[in-house]
Structure 1
Amino acid sequence: MKNLREKQGKNRDTQMLSWAARMLYIGALVALIVLIGIQQSCNSSKPFSGTYINSAGSEFSLANDTLVLEQVEGNQYRIHRMTGYRLISDSGRLGSYRWEKEEWFAVYDPEREIMSEKRHGKQISFTADCSVMTVGRRAYQKIN
């Protein structure tokens, strides 16, 4: 009788252990699915908004470009472009500082992963982490 009770107790312990292992396995699977879902949602809504800068120079001028991207709605973005430049004279002297402002509108195509600016037809692309934006052949570094 005592052996029978011990066997039944061991069977119950084994069943409980098996049940706990199943629950732990199911919990780990659910956590993995949730983490994958969070990662996918982060990747689908890229953080384009921010300020990007570029500096350029030649024998004729020095220029600093600043682009500020802001999301308007959905995949539509407004881009504020501010360019400051100094012309270099024939004698090599820097001229006075001048600046220009423009406002662009662009639409992001998630399938092609390219933003298209409407007025000038510029194609805008981003690195995977959105730290560098390329407009044509110019690369702009994200600063915030």
Structure 2
Amino acid sequence: MKVNIFFLTVCAMILAACNSDKSTRSFITGTYVSQSEGEYSIASDTLVIEASESNNYIIHRKTGFKRITEGKPGKLEYETEEWNALYDEGTKSLTETKKGKVITFYPEANKLLVGKREYRKLGIK
């Protein structure tokens, strides 16, 4: 009897881990936004994450910002980047391949973190 309960518990844990990974994987692709304001700039950041092949993802980063000079925001400037990232099934995160940025997903909170910077996912109700 104890062996059966142990076996059922282990099976439930494995099933929960598999479902958690599927939930994270299905959450990854999409558009995420972040806004920040500091003493020297105001910025809006957008990440568009696309699945590539296997555990590879492409991330398009688009940033719009205004530099603050003498307390006044300047003209709007733009930057774009393209990142390649690998999905780690163990940590359920992406690691950007060039600079090693870790992208952690929180599907239940509708957000991701790149380091300490928080982005929220668009299109989720």
- Please give the TM-score of this superposition, normalised by the length of structure 2: 0.77
Aligned to 2:93: 114
Larger RCO: Structure 1 or Structure 2 (Cα < 8 Å, ≥ 6 residues apart)? Answer: 2
Per-residue Cα deviation, 1:3-34 (whole angstroms, up to 9, x for no partner) = xxxxxxxxxxxxxxxxxxxxxxxxxxxxxxxx
Letter aligned with residue 26 of structure 2: K
1:102 maps to 81
* Higher-strand-fraction structure: 2
Report the AA paired with residue 47 of structure 2. Answer: L
Could you list the per-position Cα deviations for residues 64-112 of structure 1 after superposition, in whole angstroms to 9, with x for gaps in the alignment? 000000001121100000000001112x111000000000000111112
What letter is aligned with 1:101?
A: T
1:52 aligns with 2:12: no
1:136 is aligned to 115
Counting helix residues as a fraction of each chain, which structure ranks higher?
1
User: How many pairs are equivalent?
Assistant: 107
How large is the Cα RMSD of the aligned pairs?
Answer: 2.1
The percentage of aligned residue pairs carrying the same residue is 37
Equivalent residues in 2 for 1:15-94, closer than 5 Å: 40=19, 42-43=22-23, 45-90=25-70, 92-94=71-73
Structure 2 regions of 5+ residues with no counterpart? 1-14
CA distance in 1, matches of 2:33, 2:24: 24
Shift in Å, 1:53 = 0.3
TM-score normalised per structure 1: 0.68
Runs of 4+, deviation exceeding 3 Å: 39-45
Query: Which piece of structure 1 moves more, 108-117 or 97-106?
Result: 108-117
Q: CA deviation at 1:130?
A: 7.0
Q: Which has the larger radius of gyration?
A: 1
